[in-house]
């Protein structure tokens, strides 16, 4: 068993044991919410971190998933789990449509376009009252209905439910990024011209990454609706995309562990700095700036880079010295080698 697998197992056990350590239900709720955002952030990381297309509409897609569940269960009495399953697919379908237009744009244009898409989603949710209940929001969303003997009526049960989906999401993502498909995503991030020369079909591959990414956002949104049981247009606020961007960056863009660590640790810091709640961006804004200047690869990215440099220095000092003097790429070069990574 590799060290990475062992590390993941340790994390899994810690997650399982968390309710035993948590002091109260409030802690469970904070952690469950963090997991829901972690699922969405892991999805965002696929398109932004691995494929290099900086998406700024992610919170909008999460809101689409959430509203799918809200509207279907409250207005059309669809069972929760059916609505939940649909939340992923509805969001993915919308993602395919948005991606078909936006992914033809390169670099900055794509980001700006998705920023606009994010605002459109917020505005549509706010204005389309007959469908989304406008600013009033959707109240009384039924929680996850029982599956056989499993009943999700306590914070602890809900915690394990969300935890299950997080683990599933990470597992699937690990398979994706370590597959040939994942490699082509990273090839596009590093150089789309080169990727194309290697025979990767650019548009189709980017679209696939985007659709998979928003599928995660949709499911996270669906879970969110069932967990919080209330929805307002605020879910789609672009600030949430910025939050997720920060989670991703704190941990490390284009790493599997990074977004997870970021999305769990940052909300806890916010929880303990209560006075920050309203002004969290007064602190987080400068942190984002300092991170991109001084720790561009995040915690996990920097660690992987340090480990890779140490390993290569041990192997071939001369070549390594040459490599470290080369200018750093903004995307972690460590994840572009052939090795499987954490």
Partner 1 sequence: MDLFLQQVLNGLTLGGIYSLVALGLTLVYGILHVPNFAHGAFYMAGAFISFHLMSKYGANYWLAMAGSAVAVAALATLAERLVFHPLRHASGLHPMIAAIGMLLFLEAGAQAIWGADFHRMQTPYTGIIDFAGVTAPVQRLLIIGAAFALMVLLHLFLRRTVTGSTIVAMAQNRDGASLVGIDANRVAMMTFAISGVLAAVAATLYAPINLVYPAMGHLVITKAFVIIILGGMGSVPGAIVGGLIIGFAESFGAFYISTDYKDIIAFALLVLILSFRPQGLFAKGAH
Q: Which residues bind partner 1 (CB under 8 A)?
A: 48, 52, 54, 101, 104-109, 111-113, 115-117, 119-120, 123-124, 127, 238-239, 242, 245, 249, 253, 278-282, 284-289, 291-293, 296, 327, 329-331
State residue 240 phi and psi, 5-degree precision: -65, -35
Least distance in angstroms from the C-beta of 15 to partner 1: 28
Q: Which is nearer to partner 1, 88 or 243 (CB)?
A: 243
Least distance in angstroms from the C-beta of 151 to partner 1: 41
Least distance in angstroms from the C-beta of 103 to partner 1: 10
Least distance in angstroms from the C-beta of 282 to partner 1: 4
Q: Which is nearer to partner 1, 35 or 242 (CB)?
A: 242
Encode the chain in three state secondary structure. CCHHHHHHHHHHHHHHHHHHHCCCHHHHHHHHHHHHHHHHHHHHHHHHHHCCCCCCCHHHHHHHHHHHHHHHHHHHCCCHHHHHHHHHHHHHHHHHHHHHHHCCCCCHHHHHHHHHHHHHHHHHHHHCHHHHCHHHCEECCCCCCCECCECCCCHHHHHHHHHHHHHHHHHHHHHHHCCHHHHHHHHHHHCHHHHHHCCCCHHHHHHHHHHHHHHHHHHHHHHHHHHHCEECHHHHCHHHHHHHHHHHHHHCCCCCHHHHHHHHHHHHHHHHCHHHHHHHHHHHHHHHHHHHHHCCCHHHHHHHHHHHHHHHHHHCHHHHHHHHHCCCCCCCHHHHCCCCCC
Least distance in angstroms from the C-beta of 127 to partner 1: 5
Q: Which is nearer to partner 1, 167 or 288 (CB)?
A: 288
Q: Which is nearer to partner 1, 127 or 175 (CB)?
A: 127
Q: Which is nearer to partner 1, 115 or 157 (CB)?
A: 115
* CA 278 from centre of chain: 23
Least distance in angstroms from the C-beta of 73 to partner 1: 26
Q: Which is nearer to partner 1, 141 or 331 (CB)?
A: 331
Q: Which is nearer to partner 1, 193 or 318 (CB)?
A: 193
Q: Vertex 37, ends 104 and 51: CA angle to 5°?
A: 30
Least distance in angstroms from the C-beta of 110 to partner 1: 10
Q: Which is nearer to partner 1, 168 or 289 (CB)?
A: 289
Least distance in angstroms from the C-beta of 106 to partner 1: 6
What token pair was written down for 223?
A: 């879970």
What token pair was written down for 332?
A: 């972690």
């Amino acid at each position: 068993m590799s060290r990475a697998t062992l590390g993941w197992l340790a994390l899994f056990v810690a997650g399982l044991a968390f309710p035993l350590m948590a002091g109260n239900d409030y802690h469970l709720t904070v952690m469950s919410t963090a997991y829901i955002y972690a699922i969405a952030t892991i999805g965002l990381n696929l398109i932004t971190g691995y494929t290099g297309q900086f998406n700024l509409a992610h919170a909008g897609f999460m809101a689409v998933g959430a509203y799918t569940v809200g509207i279907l269960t409250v207005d059309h009495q669809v069972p929760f789990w059916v609505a939940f399953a649909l939340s992923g697919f509805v969001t993915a379908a919308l993602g395919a449509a948005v991606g078909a237009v936006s992914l033809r744009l390169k670099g900055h244009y794509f980001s700006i376009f998705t920023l606009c898409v994010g605002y459109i989603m917020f505005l549509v949710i706010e204005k389309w009252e007959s469908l989304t209940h406008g600013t009033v929001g959707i109240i009384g969303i039924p929680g996850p209905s029982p599956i056989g003997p499993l009943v999700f009526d306590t914070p602890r049960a809900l915690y394990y439910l969300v935890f299950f989906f997080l683990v599933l999401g990470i597992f699937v993502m690990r398979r994706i990024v370590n597959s040939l498909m994942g490699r082509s995503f990273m090839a596009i991030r590093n150089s789309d011209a080169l990727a194309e020369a290697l025979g990767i079909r650019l548009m189709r591959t980017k679209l696939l990454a985007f659709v998979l990414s928003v599928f995660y956002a949709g499911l996270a949104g669906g879970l969110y609706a069932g967990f919080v049981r209330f929805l307002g247009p605020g879910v789609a606020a672009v600030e949430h995309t910025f939050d997720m961007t920060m989670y991703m960056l704190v941990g490390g863009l284009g790493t599997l562990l990074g977004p997870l660590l970021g999305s769990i640790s940052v909300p806890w810091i916010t929880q303990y700095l209560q006075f920050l709640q309203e002004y969290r961006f007064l602190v987080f804004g400068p942190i984002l700036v300092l991170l991109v200047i001084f720790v561009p690869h995040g915690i996990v990215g920097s660690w992987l880079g340090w480990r890779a440099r140490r390993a290569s220095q041990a192997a071939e000092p001369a070549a390594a010295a040459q490599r470290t003097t080369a200018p750093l790429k903004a995307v972690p070069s460590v994840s572009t080698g052939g090795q499987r990574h954490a």
